[in-house]
Amino acid sequence: MENNSAIVYDVIIVGGGSAGAVMASRLSEDPSRKVLLLEGGKAYAPDAYPEVIAKADHVTGDKDHDWGYMGDTGIAGRKIHAFRGKVLGGSSGVNAAVAMRARKADFDKWVKLGLNNWDFEKVLETYKLMETTMDGEDVIRGRSGLFPIRQVPTEELTPALKAFVLASEQQGFNKVADFNGYKQDGVSPYPLNVLNGIRQNTGMTYLNAEVRKRANLTIIGEQTADRALIEKNRVYGIITADGTEYLGKEVILSAGAYGSPAILMRSGIGPKNDLEALGIKVVKNAPVGQKLYEHPFYYNIYELKKEANAMSPAAGAILWTRSSNAPDDELDIHVSATHLFDPSLTETGGAIVLACAVTTPKSKGFVKLQSSDPLVAPVIEFNMFKEADDLHRMIEAVKMSRGIGLNAAFVPVKQREMTPGELVNDDVELTKAILEQIDGYQHPTSTVPMGLESDPEAVVDGWGKVFGIEGLRVVDASIMPYIVSAPPNVTTVMMAEHISKNVY
């Protein structure tokens, strides 16, 4: 076993994704602090990302840049891909680059748990700090941050995406000026972290060329973390899958909603019975991995007419609204319109996907280890629609989407409905189609949730510190106590900024 004991880092960050890259960038601003960033994937230079990562029209990466996880939907044994970016920049390098903030209603739920440091007025300042944009109003938008966000103008959309926006308006939905502004209920082209067709992942933005020149920042790629090294309830480093030890005074896990709980559990922090069954010495009995949220996702797909089959830019527009039973302050439904579809599966060479999601799911899944081997993927169980209300709202969302598909403004671009298909005409058939074809939005959260120490579901405090273990912190989407109603990437970046500026 190799021991790099010649160097003791002040901070070791595990995972250089949406949160880890931010933490590495911010913590290394202090030249006296030695920072090590360990990334499981390749650590490309900011201007050397391959097209499969850099090009915004390509999502989910490829087998060389994905962890290869599968998750069980909990419905008739149906398994789905649980894509996670295996590259510096993490899933911000393989996602659809949708740059929408979470809403006040999302953070109000966190505050009710006693997490007052996540009050919306406080996080708003951090959202502003992280971004640079020319959009919106100065009072609510950021002008000088490291993360570029651009509102796509309607004129840049494809004919089909324009038709979706117009049809949504004709169905009675508002036109939204700025999803990151004051009002979100309605339809608009996306705000994206895309410039000139290039997805601006955190490995490019927060770890730009200037940041990487810092003498006190070390970035090592292609190093899969095994577990934290802990003695007498204090962390002193990390051991990787190849047996290399890195010593540090503090360890921050930013390996994502699947990776961070897996590392904790291999370190002996997790449900006692599960760990003992795998022969892992229990350091702390904790509810790690017991609360997994994911936005369920259903694809209402339309083949486009040949004269309207343009498919780039692929990420286009979204309707964000509420179901009939949603609380007044909640927007619990997305219908997102994209061209993220293989045109060879159509006869006309073009398709539009109206993807429906329930953004405030009540159903909870879990993540657990199937082996103590760090190269063996964890068990991922989504338990989608375990709570009946989630299915009811999904059915409502798909009906909303199909209504847009039937609108007079959409009909000129539409050749036919591919899924669920025009023969599906009643709730029984629609429910069957949804259950058979359900997918995930690739938005996993909450497997290492924040809360008060008295909260039986909480693993970390309001700043990501693991209860009972000195020097160990988790900073990524896994610490969200509840999933947010927007795509969580921008909020994950914000959370890392928020913790770095308030703690360090």
Q: pLDDT tens across 197-245, in order?
A: 999 999 999 999 999 999 999 999 999 999 999 999 999 999 999 999 9
d(CA 353, CA 459): 38
Q: How many residues are present in the chain?
A: 504
Domain assignment of residue 366, yes or no: no
Domain that holds residue 251: 3-101+107-112+199-292+444-503
How far lies 397's CA from each of 161, 181, 232, 303, in Å? Answer: 18, 24, 51, 20
Does 287 lie in the same domain as 420? no
Does 353 lie in the same domain as 467? no
- 119 contact partners, CB below 8 Å, separation of at least 6: 107, 111
Does 178 lie in the same domain as 93? no
Q: pLDDT tens across 371-392, in order?
A: 999 999 999 999 999 999 999 9
Does 333 lie in the same domain as 427? yes
Are 483 and 25 a contacting pair, CB within 8 Å?
Answer: no
Domain assignment of residue 143, yes or no: no
- Percentage of residues in the chain having pLDDT higher than 90: 98
Q: pLDDT tens across 330-379, in order?
A: 999 999 999 999 999 999 999 999 999 999 999 999 999 999 999 999 99
d(CA 98, CA 152): 11
d(CA 404, CA 169): 9
Q: Cα torsion for 424, 426, 431, 432, to the nearest 10°?
A: -50
**Side chain identity, residue 426:** D
Does 312 lie in the same domain as 244? no
Does 11 lie in the same domain as 91? yes
Domain assignment of residue 95, yes or no: yes
d(CA 107, CA 402): 31
- Listed residue (315, 321, 265) closest to 290, CA to CA: 265
Domain assignment of residue 51, yes or no: yes
Q: Cα torsion for 315, 321, 323, 324, to the nearest 10°?
A: -150
- 499 contact partners, CB below 8 Å, separation of at least 6: 23, 463, 464, 473, 475
Q: SS in 3 state form for 25-71?
A: HHHCCCCCCCEEEECCCECCCCCCCCHHHHECCCCCCCHHHECCCEE
Mean local confidence (pLDDT), 154-167: 97
Residue ranges with strand state E in 135-270: 147-148, 150-151, 186-189, 191-192, 194-195, 198-199, 217-220, 225-231, 234-240, 245-253, 269-270
Partners of 66 in the β-ladder:
85
Does 52 lie in the same domain as 79? yes
Omega cis (within 30) before 313: yes
pLDDT bracket for residue 5 (50, 70, 90): low
Q: pLDDT tens across 434-487, in order?
A: 999 999 999 999 999 999 999 999 999 999 999 999 999 999 999 999 999 999
Largest CA distance in the chain: 70
- Listed residue (185, 417, 410, 420) closest to 319, CA to CA: 185
- Examine the pLDDT at 2 and tell me if it is beyond 70: no
Residues annotated as catalytic are 443
Domain assignment of residue 453, yes or no: yes
Domain count for the chain? 2
From 414, 437, 460, the end of a domain falls on: 437
Domain assignment of residue 473, yes or no: yes
- Examine the pLDDT at 415 and tell me if it is beyond 70: yes
Mean local confidence (pLDDT), 179-190: 97
pLDDT number for residue 1 = 40
- Listed residue (341, 422, 402, 471) closest to 171, CA to CA: 402
Mean local confidence (pLDDT), 163-188: 97
Q: How many CA atoms lie within 13 A of 263 on its CB side?
A: 33
pLDDT bracket for residue 6 (50, 70, 90): confident
d(CA 175, CA 187): 5
pLDDT number for residue 4 = 53
CATH number of domain containing 346 = 3.30.410.40
CB burial of residue 295 (10 Å; 0-12, 13-18, 19+)? buried
Partners of 198 in the β-ladder:
55, 195
Domain assignment of residue 126, yes or no: no
Domain assignment of residue 399, yes or no: yes
Mean local confidence (pLDDT), 12-24: 98
